[in-house]
Amino acid sequence: MKIAIGSDHAGFSMKQEIINELKAEGHQIIDCGTHSSESVDYPDIAEAVAKKVLEDNIFGVLICGTGIGISIAANKIPGIRAALCHDPYSAALAREHNDANVIAVGSRITGIGITLEMIKTFINSKFQGGRHQRRVEKIDSLEKKCHEGSRASGLY
């Protein structure tokens, strides 16, 4: 499987461990940086990974200290459904119910063992469709409404 991955400085060393493990399992990894533990801004990495995810229709993995900033940034990009996960059950449901295309993790929150388990669960789980399809379509239409500058709901 082809997978895009990126982290900020806080997630750099965890990213390298994830890459080694996924490559050993035969996956093709697109490393969108960062490439050292020097400080960088997580929105730049979220953008780079999101671009590859959308261009190639593949899964993405994002890592920052908490997973929060990088998932918030990624979710600003239309077509990205980034799920911040802390356990394998959430990682499975992120695919099965939410059709997430990106998993975000926090290197300062979950250890490498549980993180690898989450990522493997995520990439091997399938969207269930059915009632979940309608809900994901509603997420898409929220994006479209915002893009069209609709003020119908009074919320934005």
Catalytic residues: 64, 97
Residue 54 CB neighbours (<10 A)? 16
- Mask 33-62, x = binds ligand RB5 (CB under 6 A)? ---------x--------------------
By the rule CB under 6 A, 110 interacts with ligand RB5: no
CB of 96 to ligand RB5, least distance (A): 26
Contacts of 74 (CB under 8 A, 6+ apart): 46, 49, 50, 60, 62, 80, 82, 102, 104
Looking at 25-33, 64-72, 80-88, 113-121, which segment touches ligand RB5 (CB under 6 A)? 64-72
Q: Which residues bind ligand RB5 (CB under 6 A)?
A: 8, 10, 42, 64-66, 68-69
